[in-house]
Amino acid sequence: MDGMKSSGFSSADILLPKKGIDLERWATIACDQFTSDPAYWEEVETIVADAPSTLRITLPEIYLEKEGKEGRIAEINRKMKEYLEEGIFTSYPDSFILVERRTGSGVRYGIVGKLDLEEYDYSPDSRSLVRATEGTILSRIPPRKEIRMHAPLELPHIMVLISDEKRSVIEPLVVRRDSLTVVYDTPLMMNGGHAKGYLINSESDKNGIECALQAILSTLDPANPLLFAMGDGNHSLATAKSIWEDIKKELDEDERKDHPARYALVEIENIYDDGLEFEPIHRVFFSLGKGEFRKAVSAAAPEFTTEIIERKEIHERVNESRSSFVTFDGNEYTLFRLRNTAKELAAWTIQSVIDSLLGSKACTVDYIHGMDETLSLGGDGNIALILPDISKETFFASILSDSAFPRKTFSIGHAEEKRYYMEARRIR
């Protein structure tokens, strides 16, 4: 591989809790989940109690806009230093971790390693190896920088997708996982399923991962080489990128090469993994009349047709085209088919509708998981809107043709199936 461009994904000095730490209380779910459910986090507090836990060294976003945030951030940094000084971690230098995650959706696999932030660009017109898949909201970066800026550790909930139809990167390790050393094996709290980690530290295995990624890279358009697409945690990765851009201004070229802030610990997963489920995120327009909604759609789409359908037809009919969506106003289920729009995916047009209506304060909007949950909110002056599924087969092609999806277009699995914090890495 001499002279070849690196894939951007490499082994890392990974920290894991030493033997004797209760891993079920150590591992907590990604901080951006259950943001409107204080009861969830109250129960987590009760479970964790005074045990070592990632709950003490991350900030659940439910507290991000609440009073006392600065004190929480200071306590997080203090606790990180305490955990390091008390020696609760075992270090696995220059390694990857193969992750086996069992959830209600099945079993999925991934590899934890570090991603080069020099290969990541979250701008909408990015042509980098690593890209955002949904619009990055720049206002969400500064409060996250406050947390990471002085932290000695990072803990990843970032999931990055690769399009590996030949199953050449992760799956060869899965096949022979019984020959690998198990470094954690634990149930996950709050219906999170089960996580098992296998150490990957042999040179042959590490080279195998890089060679397989290089083979995928060789098939991509050099002018538009999308190798890694963000699945979850884009704003966390964008925060790491922003901090690195600040830090590297003060470094010379040699210092930049191996500075720990140049990288972020992530888990890569194959989009073709059978245990990886994509779900569309739907919309509800509150206090909006049907006439006002149609007027807004007419302004955003040059041409569309409508058809009244039965509820039982919704899923099949809305997925006949990526340019379709269904609304329910309490009386009728209406299938809209958009034509001649600038971007094929209906979510783009709907985002224009949302921007227009929110700009004029004509209504409020929420983003809802699950078709039945969304439809239950239609009526009584509200309009429920169902979007098509996001196809694994066309996911990467959509990013290449339309750039990132609009915000909150898709979710990977249910909330409790998101990544739990387990591994850590020093970033200073």
pLDDT at 406: 84
Count of beta carbons in the 10 Å neighbourhood of residue 331: 10
pLDDT at 3: 46
Give residue 138's pLDDT: 73
146 CB neighbour count, 10 Å cutoff: 15
**Tens-place pLDDT, residues 237-288:** 999 999 999 999 999 999 999 999 999 999 999 999 999 988 888 999 999 9
* Residue 327 near residue 381 (C-beta atoms within 8 A): no
Cα 166 to Cα 143: distance, rounded to the nearest angstrom:
40
pLDDT in tens, 28-70: 999 988 887 889 999 999 999 999 999 999 999 888 878 888 8
Structural contact between residues 70 and 238, judged by C-beta atoms closer than 8 angstroms: no
20 Cβ contact list (under 8 Å, min separation 6):
none
Using 50 as the pLDDT threshold, list the residues of the chain that sit under it: 1-3
Angstrom CA distances, 37 to 40, 144, 209, stand at: 6, 20, 39
Return the pLDDT at 74.
93
| Per-residue pLDDT, 20 | 96
Residue 31: phi and psi, rounded to 5, are: -65, -20
pLDDT number for residue 4? 56
Sign of the C-alpha dihedral computed for residues 197, 108, 155 and 114 taken in this order: positive
User: What is the structure's pLDDT at 151?
Assistant: 95
Residue 147, pLDDT score: 87
Question: Which domains does the chain show, CATH number per domain?
Answer: 9-276+417-426 (no CATH), 280-412 (3.30.1760.10)
* Predicted pLDDT of residue 395: 87
Return the pLDDT at 65: 77
* Phi-psi group of 402: left, alpha or beta (phi > 0 → left; psi -120 to 50 → alpha; rest → beta): alpha
